Each structure stands twice: as C-alpha cells, then as structure tokens.
Structure 1
Amino acid sequence: MTTIDHHRADDLAALARRSHAVIRQHQHPSGAYPASPTFSAYRGYAWLRDGGFTAEGMSRYGDVASVDAFHDWVDRTLGARRDRLDEVLSLRSAGREVPGDLLLPTRFTLDGADGTDEWWDFQTDGYGTWLWSVVTHARRHGGDLRRWRRGIEVAVDFACAFWAEPCYDWWEEHDEQRHVSTLAAVVGGLEAVAEAGVLDEGRAARCREVASAARALVLAEGVADGHLTKWLGDNAVDGSLPACIVPFGLVEVGSPLARATLTAVASDLDADGGVHRFLADVFYGGGQWLLLSCFLGWNLAAQGERDGALRLLEWVAGQVTDDGEMPEQVGHDLLHPGSRDEWVERWGEVATPLLWSHGMYLVLADELGRLQEVPA
C-alpha cells in the first residue's frame, strides 16, 4: 500500500489546484483549451488530442462547466465541417483522390476555424481521443451525449473512413507509417461511443467493426519481442504506448502484452521519473515529457503498482516553474543535446505552460487520490 506523509500529500493537492487554475485561466471564451498560450508554434491553436486529455483532467477535478464548454466548442467546430466531410466521403466512395486540404485537420484556431499556418495536419488520433473523452465525461457526470451528437457523428464518420490510412503520429511525424498509439485512440473512441447509446444502429455497428479490425491489425503487425511497437512493422517503443492500455483499452490491463509494453517503455524511455518520447527524438534535444510520465504512472496505478505511479507523479511535481506552470518537456536528460539550440532558434524556449501537462497531472493525481488535501 502506498504511504505518503501529510505534508507531501498536501503539496501534491495544492499543485492540482494550481493546475486547474492554469487551465481555467487560459481556456478561451469559445471553450477551446489552447495547447500553450505563449509558445510561438502553438499559440492560437487547439488540438482535439491535447484538449481531450486536458478535459479528462478537468472532468476528474469536477469542473463540469469548463469541460462542457470544451465539448461544446468541439461539437460546433466539427459540426460546421459536416458538408466538407460529406464531400470527402463522396469522393472516396467514388474511388477518386481526396485532396489533402479537404481532409479534416488535427488542430483548429480557438474560434474553430482552419489554421492559416502550414502544419502536419492529417492525424486521426485526435478524433478517437475526443470521442473517448466526451463519452467518459458524460458518463462520469450524467451528461446527455445528444448535446454533442452532431460533432460525435462527424468524428465517427471521419475516423471510420480513414482509420487504416498512414498519417502523422501524436508528435506530427512520420506520415508514411501507421502508428500503434493512433490506432489505439481510434479503437478507444469508437468502442466507447458505440456503447453510449447516442448513435444510430448503423453507425454503432460500423464503430464496432472498425475497432475490431484496428485491434486485430495491431496485434498482427504492431507487436515485437512481446510488446507493442511505435508503428506497424517496427520494434521500437514510444512514450505514448501506455495509452494503448489505459485509457484506450486496446490491450487489457495486466495482460502479458500490457506488462511487457510498460516494461519496455520504462526500460528504454524512463530516466529517473521523466519519460522521453522515443530514443531517436531530437525535438529540443529529446527531453523528458511531463505528460508521458503521467501516462506511464496512470498505467502503473491501474495494474496496482501505486508506489511506482507515485514516484512519477512526484517527478512531474518537481518540474513546475516558480509560477506553478508545467512545461511540455524538460532538459535534464537530453537524448540528443546537440539538437536543442536549433529548435530554440526556430521557435523559442520550450512551451510553458502546456495545458496538456497540467491536465495529465490532474488525471494521475486523481488516480492516486491526491486531488484533495489530507484531513488533519
């Protein structure tokens, strides 16, 4: 059983309050959660992936109004693209090439428009992540998913049509590959919404069919040496792979494949509590990502290793700035230090705050019962 003194527990709870305040402070009036309010490459944009996990942290914290507003924003943003998606699906069904600029983007401006800056836009993980997030939030707080049905149907139709296509991964890299964490997000989202009672039977059946096919594909081509891999046909691991277990459920908690995957991620990427993205990562020198430490900790907690999960939570807490803000990554243990300066010159210092880091802290703190102070 995990034990922790009251002083440390209260510090962790105070940081949860601060994380909630940071997210609330920067939530746009539209409801969007900006990825980072000041970082040059992210400023003015919101991602479904980042926002979906940030919403999960806020939902666990109990800020229903904030999370409802975020899902309202996604619903409006995706719903406004119904006609565009129908055009895409019509072209696809006719066997014609779909122009890349017609595909739904991975990020949107805070008022829900397409961005004008070039980006690595074709990614399906955010659509699966948002479906999982909105269903989980509604279930937790008794919300009515019909409120977000239009956006849900767009996300479902897009994910079901393009789930098997190569696309950019969580890190906006390698669009020539099919990524295991991306496929897991699609599985998690489609399975969650298929059983939520908000879809017509045809869509629900299609969700189950696609989720089953995606899971089978990963198990056939996304496993090496007994663990999940970064992409199909590879043998490397990625710091996002724990999400394939919890929360997306591609692999069952405690199964041999799940345990081997967490062991491989920890062995290759966990450096004293800070988890790297992947061994070849050169972005800002390849630092340790707070949110990835939280994903690994979330999974350790789920399989009963609460001491290991607490170690990761405390590492994350130790990376906070004097203003109580959490960065995207820290550079204590860079994989490729010679690459850091070129990114600083290009985009400035590391994104701080990153709302996804704060959201994932709330998730792991909740898993370990650290959202509230310990009674005296």
Structure 2
Amino acid sequence: MKLSRGTAPLSVDERTRLVDLARQSHAVITRYQDVGGAYPASPTFSAYRGFAWLRDGSFTAEGISRYGDVGSANRFHDWSARVLTARRSEVDSLVAARAGGELPPVDRMLPTRFTFTGENGSDPWWDFQTDGYGMWLWSAVTHAHRHGVDVARWLPGFEVAVDYLLTSWDRPCYDWWEEHVEHRHVSTLGAVRGGLVAVADLLDPGRRGAALAVADEIRALVLTDGVLDGHLTKWLGSSTVDGSLPSCVVPFGLVDGDLAEGTLAAVAASLDVDGGVHRFTDDVFYGGGQWLLLSALLGWNLAARGDLDGALRHLRWIAAQADTSGQMPEQVPHHLLHPGSRDEWIARWGTVASPLLWSHGMYLILADELGLLEDPT
C-alpha cells in the first residue's frame, strides 16, 4: 500500500472507513448514472438536475475507471461520443466560418451541458466552455489505455471534439466555474492542451499535426502571459490564482518543475484552509465555501509528488464532509469567504448540491492515489 512509504500507518478502523467511503462513492455514482450513460451533475440540485457536463463527467469517469468499473466508464464515453458525433455538421459549420475569417458568436458554439438524451438545455446557461471537450479526450484515452478498451467506437467523437477545439481554443470563454467569458483561462487552456496531447496518436496525420501544433501554442502562450511570481495565474494577464490550477500540473501536464511547484504552493497558500480548498478569493457562490473536488485535486497533485501525508490530509478532510449515508456535497460552509452572499443563492436555487457526482469521482481518484481502493482486509 502506498501509504506505507514514509507515512504513519492508518489504523484499521480509519482505513476501513476510507475504503468503505470509496465503495459508497462508487455506489452513488452508478446509482444515478442514466441508462444512456450520462452522469448527472447532481440528481437533486435544482440547477443541475437533468443535465450532464463533459467536465464533471470526465473526472467522474476517471474515478470510476480507477475503481475498476469498466462498464460504467465505457457507457459514459459511449454517451459522450454519441452526443458529439451527432454535432458533426455544427462543428463543420464553425470550422468553415473560422476559416473564412468569421468569428461565430458565442451562442453558436457548442454547449457545456447536455440533457441525458444529448440535447441542449432549453433555459439560458453560460454555455461556451471549451475545457470539457479537452477533459473528455483525456479521460476517454486514459481509461482506454488503463483497461485495454478499443477506442475505435469513440474515434468519430474524438474527431469532432478535436476539430471544435482546433477552431475555438484561442477564444475567450467561460471558465470551469461558468464565469468571466471575457477572459482566456489558464485552467481551460491546460485542459484543452491535455486532451489534444492525449488523443494525438489516435488521429489521422493531418489532425495529429494540427493538434500537437496547437498544444505547443498553448504552452507558449501560457508561459508568456499566464505566469506571475513563479506560479500560473487564473487567466492570462491576471495576478490571482484559482483552485483549478493544479490540474495544469496533474493530470494535464501543462507545466512541470519549479513552475508546477510554485503553482501548487500559491494555491495552497491562498485557498487551502484546514484541508478544504476554495475556488478563488472573490468567490461569492453560496458564500464562497470549500469545494471537495478541489481538495481532492490538490491532494492528487501532492500524492503524485510523493507527499503522501499531505494527500492524506486532504482525503481525510473530504471524508469528514460526507453525510451519514456517504453522500458528498459540492461545497461546505465552514470557512466562507463572503458569508453575506450565501442566503441569496439558497433563495435562488435551494441548498448546496448534494450529492455531487464530481465530488465522489474525485474522492475515488485520490483514494486510488493513496492505495485505498483495494480490499481493506
């Protein structure tokens, strides 16, 4: 078990509890997975119910894949590939418009969330977000490599996602949190690059060359305009950090070395309180609480660097936020950044989303990094 390397051993009771919570997380995710393969963001939360995001689903599928449930992950990737393949003509139109010197308006771009049958939502949303398309490429390819899955069934969807990213990666769009459409966000660029690099070897020569060229452009752009004081920044030209930035290190590999270390340190110093990680300092959504999935993301990075004690600190914090039935929320209000704004969101959308499947998926990822998906006996 990985925790034996320079780390105080867990008690039998604590290890059993953490392993049991992984089993419960798998059960929550698979219980709510739609028959068509989509993972709902949250089955009960008013604003998320009935919709699936590529972003949430890609990380959820990674956790499920690590757990060893190949069938569930395959069904999600089958669903994603179907949804994107059905939009082949839309993407062809966007590619043609861009090639002709036209910049298609935001409302023509592909959505960030879909109904379980693959349609757009009927209500207005902050839809133009490219990160999920890169995340899905990374997640599907990673899953296929791990379990020896034949990716031919997903290749038409891969090609649609790649063509869409090649024609839109350099445009400002909404970030992971569906805010600030006027900026180019470093975490978004990292996810796009990560997906293009992951899928490149599966593409025809023309797409492969274009994908790798854009990947190089993204890295050069971020190193020029997305770095300050030795760390990545929230968006190009910003001076602040964001809790999503560790993804640019692990899993997407945008940066490494001193810049990676500086980014993780800056996020921890600005946003980590007692093991729970905030999104960003100006966050007013439900008062700006601590997000379980971001705690797992930072812990994942620490584990990858060999800081198993630090990673375990985050896993323990996440486990402590689960309710008595093992369900995990999106965020918790222990250290609100802007408590005065919490009530307005409760009035608007109800209580915080719980369960959030992305939280459960990230718990599985971090538990796997720490060797806690095995049988506890």
- Smaller-chain TM-score range? over 0.9
Q: Distance in 1 between matches of 2:258 and 2:102?
A: 43
- TM-superposition CA deviations, 1:349-368 (whole Å, max 9, x none): 00000000000000000000
**Equivalent residue, structure 2, for 1:247:** 251
List, as ranges, runs of 4+ consecutive aligned residues in structure 1 with deviation greater than 2 Å: 99-102, 372-375
For residues 305 and 251 of structure 1, what CA distance do their matches in structure 2 show? 19
Equivalenced residues, count: 371
TM-score, normalised to structure 1, is 0.98
Q: In 1, distance between residues paired with 2:103 and 2:244? A: 31
Alpha-carbon distance between aligned partners in 2 of 1:19 and 1:297, rounded to the nearest angstrom: 17
Of residues 24, 27, 46, the one that matches 1:21 is 27
**Amino acid of the structure 2 residue aligned with 1:294:** A
CA distance in 2, matches of 1:262, 1:118: 35
Q: Name the counterpart of 1:147.
A: 153
Q: CA RMSD in A?
A: 0.8
Q: CA offset at residue 199 of structure 1?
A: 1.0
Query: Aligned partners of 2:105 and 2:214: how far apart in 1?
Result: 23
In 2: Cα distance, 1:203 partner to 1:127 partner:
16
**CA distance in structure 2 between the aligned counterparts of 1:97 and 1:352, rounded to whole angstroms:** 39
Deviation at 1:87, TM superposition (A): 1.1
What do residues 148-187 of structure 1 show as CA deviations (whole Å, max 9, x unaligned)? 0111000000111111100000000000000000000011
Matched with 1:367 is 369
Counterpart position of 1:305:
307
User: What is the match of residue 335 of structure 1?
Assistant: 337
Matches of 1:97 and 1:313 in 2, distance apart? 44
Distance across 1 between alignment mates of 2:309 and 2:105: 50
Contact 2:107 2:128 in 1 (8 A): no
Structure 1 residues 189-247: Cα deviation after superposition (integer angstroms, max 9, x where no partner): 0001013xx21010011110000000110011100010011001111000000000000
Amino acid at match of 1:351: A
Picking from 155, 162, 181, the partner of 1:156 is: 162
Instruction: Percent identity, please.
Output: 65
2:113 corresponds in structure 1 to 107
- The alignment partner of 1:318 has SS state of helix
- Where structure 2 has 5 or more consecutive residues not aligned to the other structure, the ranges are 1-5
CA distance in 2, matches of 1:191, 1:91: 25
Query: What residue number does 1:69 align with?
Result: 75
Aligned to 2:137: 131
The alignment's TM-score, normalised by the length of structure 2, stands at: 0.97
Instruction: Name which of 283, 286, 301 aligns with 2:285.
Output: 283
The answer to whether the 8 Å contact 2:321/2:328 transfers is: yes
Q: Give the aligned partner of residue 227 of structure 1.
A: 231
Q: Which runs of 5+ in 1 are unaligned?
A: none
Letter in 1 for 2:156: R
Q: Any conservation in 2 of the 1:284–1:344 contact (CA below 8 Å)?
A: yes
CA contact (8 A) 1:177 1:231 kept: yes
- Deviation, structure 1 residue 20: 0.1
Cα distance in structure 1, aligned partners of 2:209 and 2:128: 25
2:314 pairs with 1:321: no
